[in-house]
Amino acid sequence: MYDSIILRNVSRLMFPILLLLSLFMLVRGHNLPGGGFIGGLLAASAFILQIIAYGPMYLRTTFQINFLNLAAFGVIFAALWGLVGLVTGQAYMLAFWLKEPIPGIGKLGTPVLFDVGVYLTVIGVTTQLALVLAEEPTLYPIQRPPARRDAVAPEA
In the bound complex, what is the minimum distance in angstroms from residue 156's beta carbon to other proteins? 23
5, 64, 89, 154: residue in contact with other proteins (rule CB under 8 A): 89
DSSP notation for 108-142: -BHHHHHHHHHHHHHHHHHHHHHHHHHHHHHHS--
Q: Does 96 bind other proteins (CB under 8 A)?
A: no
Q: Does 15 bind other proteins (CB under 8 A)?
A: no
Total chain residues near other proteins (CB under 8 A)? 20
CA-CA distance, 84 to 93, in Å (whole number)? 7
Nearer to other proteins, 52 or 75 (CB): 75
Torsion over CA of 68, 71, 73 and 77, rounded to 10 degrees? -170
Q: Does 109 bind other proteins (CB under 8 A)?
A: no
Q: How far is the CB of 50 from other proteins (least distance, A)?
A: 24
**What secondary structure does DSSP assign to 43-97, as a single string?**
HHHHHHHHHHHH-HHHHHHHS---HHHHHHHHHHHHHHHHHHHHHTTS-TT---B
Q: Which of residues 41-80 bind other proteins (CB under 8 A)?
A: 68-69, 71-73, 75-76, 79-80
Report, in Å, the least distance between residue 9 CB and other proteins: 36
Binding site for other proteins (CB under 8 A): 68-69, 71-73, 75-76, 79-80, 82-83, 85-86, 89-95
